[in-house]
Amino acid sequence: MEKGKIIELYRKMLEIRLFEEKVFELYGQNIVPGTIHLYIGEEAIAAGVCSNLRKDDYIVSTHRGHGHCIAKGARLDMTMAEILGKKTGYCRGKGGSMHIADFSVGMLGATAVVGAGIPIATGAGLSIKLRGTDQVVACFFGDGAANQGTFHEGINLAAVWKLPVVFICENNLYAMGTCQSQVMLIKDIAERATAYGIPGVSVNGNDAIAVYETAEKAIKHARHGNGPSLIECKTYRHKGHSRFDPATYRPKEEVEEWLKKDPIQNLKRQLLEKGYLLNAGMAQIEREVNDIIEKAAQFAIDSPYPPPEEALENVYA
Amino acid sequence: MEKGKIIELYRKMLEIRLFEEKVFELYGQNIVPGTIHLYIGEEAIAAGVCSNLRKDDYIVSTHRGHGHCIAKGARLDMTMAEILGKKTGYCRGKGGSMHIADFSVGMLGATAVVGAGIPIATGAGLSIKLRGTDQVVACFFGDGAANQGTFHEGINLAAVWKLPVVFICENNLYAMGTCQSQVMLIKDIAERATAYGIPGVSVNGNDAIAVYETAEKAIKHARHGNGPSLIECKTYRHKGHSRFDPATYRPKEEVEEWLKKDPIQNLKRQLLEKGYLLNAGMAQIEREVNDIIEKAAQFAIDSPYPPPEEALENVYA
Amino acid sequence: MSMHNGDGKMRVITYRDAIREALLEEMKRDNTVFLLGEDIGRCWEGAFKVTKGLAEEFGDERVRDTPISESAIIGTAVGAAITGMKPIAEIMFGDLTTLAMDQIANQAAKIHYMFGAQAKVPLVIRTPFGGGVNIAAHHSQSLEAWFMHIPGLLVAVPSTAYDAKGLLKTAIQGSNPIIFCEHKLLYPTEGPVPEEDYTIPLGIADIKNEGEDLTIVATMFMVHKALNAARMLKKEGLGIEVVDPRTLVPLDKKTIIDSVKKTGRLVIAAEDCKTAGVTAEIAAMVAEEAIDYLDAPIRRVAEPDTPIPFSPPLEKYVIPDERRIIKTIREII
Amino acid sequence: MSMHNGDGKMRVITYRDAIREALLEEMKRDNTVFLLGEDIGRCWEGAFKVTKGLAEEFGDERVRDTPISESAIIGTAVGAAITGMKPIAEIMFGDLTTLAMDQIANQAAKIHYMFGAQAKVPLVIRTPFGGGVNIAAHHSQSLEAWFMHIPGLLVAVPSTAYDAKGLLKTAIQGSNPIIFCEHKLLYPTEGPVPEEDYTIPLGIADIKNEGEDLTIVATMFMVHKALNAARMLKKEGLGIEVVDPRTLVPLDKKTIIDSVKKTGRLVIAAEDCKTAGVTAEIAAMVAEEAIDYLDAPIRRVAEPDTPIPFSPPLEKYVIPDERRIIKTIREII
Ligand SMILES: Cc1ncc(C[n+]2csc(CCOP(=O)(O)OP(=O)(O)O)c2C)c(N)n1
Ligand SMILES: Cc1ncc(C[n+]2csc(CCOP(=O)(O)OP(=O)(O)O)c2C)c(N)n1
Ligand SMILES: [Mg+2]
Ligand SMILES: [Mg+2]
């Protein structure tokens, strides 16, 4: 990976991190309605994967989707506005955090039903094949989603039809309070690729460059008409599952160990070591990112709620 | 396998074959309502598996379930009566061919929804575990069912909870007109066991002794508390999928090749070669089986239909 | 039977062929239209042979056989629909929509709304409902009411070849997800269908028989039973108006209410289970909006609340027929 | 609030605790009773903390955390139920029953019938419905009407701690599959619950407030809004009778009809989408069986036919409240 790309990757990850920290701060102020699933700790995956994608490529996201949005190029202000339920949000306030989408950058939407996005991604892949373009779909989902019937049906169908879809399992070891070993006997979810006759690979999801390079291969494979693959990214969420979850079900040592593997600190260290960035450059990026996030937050806060009657609009097209 | 057992196995298979031929004959006479899925050609599987089961063990069946019923020890007359929609049938005419059950011998029922029996079998396994008995469940389903979400969810759950369930995929290469290679990239469905961390094995489903021995191992494994396995039995149906299917989608040579592999002729040859049975013994068994099947058919034909108002009974227990 | 408005020629074809023609014409017209489903391709051509010849005509890429994966069939169709295609998904039996309810109700129907109108979901789901062929509880249900209860989804319930073709073409040309309910026993029924191109707008009921004395609102196969009942009662001098809504969402309330205003009596006949079924919504709507025009209680003709039994005399007993319609009419006339 | 008949002491506890007590008591009474569901065990104790402490009390074998496999949760429960156990399955959000509809509607509900009464399916499915907490279209629906439409399934819709405990105990002790609908906003609500053992039979409505002028049949959280409305209107001298059916299947038609006979006016209030919803069936039933006692049109208070939007002002707009109830009452009084 070349220097400029790595720096871009770093900036993207930082954007996600600081965005999520801002969301966290705002919900401390009680202005974020509903629940929230933060992506903190998993930034390398969305950023690493999406850095390989073109604007006309697609992604399909989950309940933990802010990072995917940002990585695919959605605007921070409209994303934040949606999370706050404002009229200026991507979905005019109708979707919120768990149902955010930006079709203008190929972000085909989050779904709050775990695993439901998988066959939808297959369908976007089919659409690409039928239209004869060389787009690619990246489909994100969690370890928990890998036990849904849709995982099986959706990936199998993409395999059989050789569709350009890269299935990315963000294995953060837990689905709410349920750890992976409670709900599957295998260690590497990538092994499930065997069942569909497609390539499967596990990668350190906290190593942005590793994610980038693994995704690069799979995306090329897909773009060249060789069909889908399954990439498992091992990672960890720094916070609880959702808004009020103290995540006490996770052993302290495990948490500490993983906090040390922070993907952003990781990449920062590498950038400094390789001399790609000096401390000053780092600081400047942080300032810039902080700045746009503050602006995004302010935009969201200042935006009006949609008028109530809009609830009745857009049921049908 | 000892001689007596093999002869019993042969008799069971013959029972199934002649029963199904009788069903075929009766529907030629237009007295079998609805549709029918014959088991002809696949007898070695039901018989081979169920010969290992105790009466208090369970099986879960499919739309192609007559063979399973008979192999588990259901009465031929009540089975035939149900298929004809008579009051004397196992389900008093409410279920018919696709929804037949005999709880008195542990036959927990057929379901006409492909794949739906899989988690139900898992549940029977859970029940065994919770009740602390050493029963076992055998769950039959087709190659087509292996692409249902329930296959994935049901087997995974049985694996995680180490339940005493043997999953038996009757791979007859087709699901209606759809051949296996159209809908999955792998050749051996047994490979899917890897995804759940359980043993998986493919066996010649037309070789009754091979099926018996493979099932024996898996059933012991389950009975001793070591959890589920997946057995794929490669087989072929001699007739079309259902009542009116001429099955012209199958290449002639393929059909011919498989007809040569008839599981009953196979076993008969072995019995004769080994001198376990002489031609006279064979003929006698055939006569006996023929006889009980004629009686069963006559019983079914002579039985009355249920009175119409019974349609309103048994909605709730 | 309402007449076609154009002045083109009519031919008599089956409901099955009418549907097939609609598929064929729309696939020709618009190459983003494609079909997917179990055994719809050249090997089987649909469990009810509706897609006969289409794989030959359009190739396996546009007439796609799928694995037995109902959830993935609809999910895949949703994904294709939001990215520029117009999928028509077949679920082999209506009873099996149960396996795809999340994709239908939570994804297909809600995406346009949830995402603030960023995406359209032009998706047609075709599926056969109904009993009468002795295939029992898992292959005989009528579940239209569930789909009426899903905001964002349209529901078509054609009863004739003419309606089937015209409504299906409208559905395919539309921008919304729609469940297109067919009835197993209707496939072989015949009716006049124009040779020329035509469509029928959604939400326009058709008065299949005019009458002054009582209104029957009937759907799907029950329309024909209602017409038979009307014919029989005509001999006694009773004028029964048979209103076929043709689509349940949108529902043509006005035509129904106008008919009730005229006759003062209402029977609603649908084949699904009575409780919380199709007949419930129509009865409730009239009780809310036109109760003052009623001269008698509303009556519903529907299946009793039982699964569909297998045995012919049992099945016959639960599926409402002309006798039950007539008996019900006599209760309030 | 109807009073408990026994003479034991009452305590005030939450709806959540009432449900938990029922689970606890029945698990103690009958060791074939067990729980399964996502995150119901010791790590999380239920998304709404209903199963708090139960894994500690009964162990992980009887309080089983499952993978995120809704279809397998219900299917597994069905398999256990037909082989001697009494499973209580939790589906974390009612919206996700869509993923298990085949197992619920085609297997659990039909097995007893299809197999000619050879097997019983004593299965309780607990799940929370309802909106009001800004978690949008996939976590806020009320789908009770779908379940009413499934023959073979029972449907409970408790609105108070007292009803929840008594009905749940009956459900667990019963022999049929039942969907036990809870409401997210009811969990923290408090009410009197006897200390001693009690059960409430299914199919007996409770008159939560007596009145002479108009009947409101309300369910779940809408019962409380109806009671508020009744209180407000009382100041104007209007007597509003609030009837809570408590179970939708079986439905206590008699109590509803008797109330309508008394008041002559009927409003039905439920939180689900209006079309083909809970209110439709109740309105239709009255229009069929008691129309002559009505002095005014029936009116339904329900959600408009939209998905549940996320943004607070939007969500507030679609979920029916006291103001809408009162406005609707005024339309017919
Ligand atoms: C089908 C379904 N079941 C349950 C839930 C409730 N739920 C929301 S997120 C979640 C855990 C998902 O875990 P995973 O897929 O690993 O993603 P993560 O939250 O760890 O990113 C659950 C159970 C849901 N939304 N959808
Ligand atoms: C879920 C579901 N989808 C579709 C059908 C229609 N159908 C009935 S049998 C069948 C093929 C089943 O194939 P397989 O599982 O291989 O069993 P086989 O018939 O070959 O024994 C299909 C598609 C169904 N009954 N259930
Ligand atoms: Mg996870
Ligand atoms: Mg097969």
Span B116-146, pLDDT tens digits? 999 999 999 999 999 999 999 999 999 999 9
Quick check: helix, strand or coil at residue C136? Answer: coil
Residue D32 φ/ψ region, left for φ over 0, alpha for ψ in the -120 to 50 degree band, beta for the rest? alpha
**Whole-number pLDDT of residue A184:** 98
- The CATH number of the structural domain formed by C206-332 is 3.40.50.920
List the chains bordering chain B where 3 or more Cβ pairs fall under 8 Å: A, C, D
CA distance D100 to chain C (A): 7
CA distance B15 to chain C (A): 25
Residue A312 CB burial class (10 angstroms; 0-12, 13-18, ≥19): middle
pLDDT at position D3 over 60: no
| CATH number 3.40.718.10 is the correct assignment for the domain at D12-192 | no
CA atoms of D134 and D88, how far apart (whole Å): 28
* SS3 per-residue string spanning A61-112: ECCCCHHHHHHHCCCHHHHHHHHCCCCCCCCCCCCCHHHCCEHHHCEEEECC
CA atoms of D242 and C199, how far apart (whole Å): 48
CA atoms of B215 and B205, how far apart (whole Å): 11
- Of the pLDDT bands very low, low, confident and very high (cuts 50, 70, 90), residue A1 is confident
pLDDT at position B218 over 50: yes
Tokens 């009770």 sit on residue:
D144
Best mutation target, B63, B120, B313, to test chain D (most D CBs within 10 A): B120
Q: Is ligand 2 within 6 A of the CB of residue C99?
A: yes
**Whole-number pLDDT of residue D2:** 45
Overall average pLDDT of the D287-296 stretch: 98
DSSP assignments along chain A, one per residue: --HHHHHHHHHHHHHHHHHHHHHHHHHHTT-S-S-----TT-HHHHHHHHTT--TTSEEEE-SS-HHHHHHHT--HHHHHHHHTT-TTSTTTTSS-GGG--BGGGTEEEE-SSTTTHHHHHHHHHHHHHHHT----EEEEEETGGGGSHHHHHHHHHHHHTT--EEEEEEE-SEETTEEHHHH-S-S-GGGGGGGGTS-EEEEETT-HHHHHHHHHHHHHHHHTT---EEEEEE---SS-SSTT---TTS-HHHHHHHHHT-HHHHHHHHHHHTTSS-HHHHHHHHHHHHHHHHHHHHHHHHSPPPPGGGGGSSS--
Overall average pLDDT of the D237-248 stretch: 98
Is residue C265 less than 8 Å (CB to CB) from chain D? Answer: no
Strand partners, C190: C14
Residue A262 contacts by C-beta under 8 Å, 6 or more apart in sequence?
A: A41, A206, A238
pTM for this prediction: 0.98
Is D119–B120 a contact, with Cβ atoms under 8 angstroms apart? no
Residue B253 CB burial class (10 angstroms; 0-12, 13-18, ≥19): exposed
| CATH code 3.40.50.920 region(s) in chain C | 206-332
Give the Å distances, CA to CA, from D333 to A192, C290, D268, D282, D299.
64, 17, 14, 20, 11
Complex-level ipTM: 0.98
Q: Evaluate whether C99 touches C68 at the Cβ level (below 8 Å).
A: no
Give the Å distances, CA to CA, from D278 to B103, B112, D274.
36, 30, 8
> Which residues in chain C are closer than 8 Å to D305, comparing Cβ atoms?
151
Amino acid at C55: A
Is residue A195 less than 8 Å (CB to CB) from chain B? Answer: yes
Is B184–A192 a contact, with Cβ atoms under 8 angstroms apart? no
Strands D10-14 and A58-61: unpaired
Is B112–C316 a contact, with Cβ atoms under 8 angstroms apart? no
Provide the token pair at A183: 């709900």
Residue nearest atom 17 of ligand 2, based on CA coordinates: B142
Quick check: helix, strand or coil at residue C81? Answer: helix
Residue D48 contacts by C-beta under 8 Å, 6 or more apart in sequence?
A: D16, D128, D182, D184, D187
Q: Evaluate whether B107 touches B61 at the Cβ level (below 8 Å).
A: yes
- Of the pLDDT bands very low, low, confident and very high (cuts 50, 70, 90), residue D1 is very low
**Whole-number pLDDT of residue A243:** 86
CA distance D93 to chain A (A): 10
Residue A302 CB burial class (10 angstroms; 0-12, 13-18, ≥19): exposed
Quick check: helix, strand or coil at residue D271? Answer: strand
**Whole-number pLDDT of residue C2:** 45
Exposure of C237 in the CB half-sphere (CA atoms within 13 A): 0
Overall average pLDDT of the D57-86 stretch: 98
Is residue C151 less than 8 Å (CB to CB) from chain D? Answer: yes
| CATH code 3.40.50.970 region(s) in chain D | 12-192
Tokens 């051996």 sit on residue:
B188
Give the Å distances, CA to CA, from C294 to A238, A311, C244, C259.
65, 34, 19, 11
Which domains are delineated in chain A?
Answer: 3-303 (3.40.50.970)
Which helix (H) or strand (E) segment is D266 a member of?
A: strand D266-273
Give the Å distances, CA to CA, from C40 to B110, B200, B263, D21, D295.
25, 32, 32, 52, 54
Residue A93 φ/ψ region, left for φ over 0, alpha for ψ in the -120 to 50 degree band, beta for the rest? left
Strand partners, C89: C36, C125
Span D157-208, pLDDT tens digits? 999 999 999 999 999 999 999 999 999 999 999 999 999 999 999 999 999 9
Strand partners, D192: D12
Preceding amide of D250 cis, omega within 30: yes
> Which residues in chain D are closer than 8 Å to C129, comparing Cβ atoms?
none
Exposure class string for C42-73: b at 16+ Cβ within 10 A, else e: bbbbbbbebbbebbeebeeebbbbbbbbbbbb
Tokens 């050493």 sit on residue:
B134
Q: Is ligand 2 within 6 A of the CB of residue B145?
A: yes
Taking the alpha carbons at both ends of chain B, their separation in whole angstroms is: 44
Written as tens digits, the pLDDT of chain C (333 aa) is 444 555 579 999 999 999 999 999 999 999 999 999 999 999 999 999 999 999 999 999 999 999 999 999 999 999 999 999 999 999 999 999 999 999 999 999 999 999 999 999 999 999 999 999 999 999 999 999 999 999 999 999 999 999 999 999 999 999 999 999 999 999 999 999 999 999 999 999 999 999 999 999 999 999 999 999 999 999 999 999 999 999 999 999 999 999 999 999 999 999 999 999 999 999 999 999 999 999 999 999 999 999 999 999 999 999 999 999 999 999 999
CA of B252 to the centre of ligand 4 (A): 18
- Give catalytic residue positions of C: 139
CA atoms of C262 and C290, how far apart (whole Å): 11
- Of the pLDDT bands very low, low, confident and very high (cuts 50, 70, 90), residue D6 is low
Exposure class string for A197-222: b at 16+ Cβ within 10 A, else e: ebbbbbbbbbbbbebbebbeebbebb
Compute chain A's Rg from CA coordinates: 19
Angle, CA D225 vertex, CA D223 and CA D227 arms, to 5°: 70
Quick check: helix, strand or coil at residue B257? Answer: helix
> Which residues in chain C are closer than 8 Å to D148, comparing Cβ atoms?
275-276
φ and ψ at residue C164, rounded to 5 degrees: -60, -50
Distance of CA D74 to the CA centre of its chain: 19
Provide the token pair at A141: 């989902």
Provide the token pair at A159: 């395999």
pLDDT at position A299 over 90: yes
Residue length of chain B: 317
Q: Is ligand 2 within 6 A of the CB of residue B84?
A: no
pLDDT at position B37 over 80: yes
Residues from C contacting B (CB-CB < 8 Å) are 38-39, 41, 43-44, 47, 65-69, 71, 95-96, 98-99, 133-139, 304-307, 309-318
Q: pLDDT over 90 for what percent of chain D?
A: 98
Taking the alpha carbons at both ends of chain C, their separation in whole angstroms is: 24
Preceding amide of C250 cis, omega within 30: yes
Is residue B284 less than 8 Å (CB to CB) from chain A? Answer: no
Q: Evaluate whether B154 touches B118 at the Cβ level (below 8 Å).
A: yes
Interface of A with B in 89-118 (CB under 8 A): none
Report the candidate in A88, A110, C109, A316 with the shortest Cα–Cα distance to residue D311. A88
DSSP-derived secondary structure letter, B201? E
Exposure of D122 in the CB half-sphere (CA atoms within 13 A): 18
